[in-house]
Amino acid sequence: MDRVRYTVDENHNVQEIHRVVVHRFIVNEHEDPDIHAARPMWQWRESEAGQYVIKLAVSHTEWQRYLDHLTLGYHYVIIAELEKKKLSEFYLRFGKINA
């Protein structure tokens, strides 16, 4: 899911911005999966990795839900945009999330 875009800052330097999955988890509840996803989202947000992303993300993080047709569970991903150097630091500190 890694997408790259380029922006120019006020000093006319080109910034490479990556849109990446920074966290993923599964919810197997069928009644209201978004309610049950709130806890893992909050736990990630309060973790060291979550605080790093929230502090340094270019824009707000977002989440997306996908239905797994084999298990009928739901896959959730949290997506953020990070500058290239900050993304490298994220990978070194917390590891790469397999997309």
Domain range enclosing 45:
3-94
pLDDT digits (tens, 9 = 90+) for 10-65: 888 888 999 999 999 999 977 899 999 999 999 999 999 999 999 999 989 999 99
**Residue 11 counted as domain residue:** yes
Structure tokens at 61: 């993080």
**Residue 99 counted as domain residue:** no
Query: Has residue 2 got a pLDDT over 80?
Result: no
**Whole-prediction pTM:** 0.85
Number of domains in the chain: 1
Which 8-state DSSP code applies to residue 97?
P
Which 8-state DSSP code applies to residue 47?
S
**Residue 90 counted as domain residue:** yes
CA distance 44 to 27: 14
**Residue 39 counted as domain residue:** yes
Among 91, 95, 77, smallest CA distance to 18 is for: 91
Long-range interactions of 83-87: CB distance < 8 A, separation 24+: 83/15, 83/16, 83/17, 83/18, 83/56, 83/58, 84/15, 84/16, 84/17, 84/18, 86/56, 87/18, 87/20
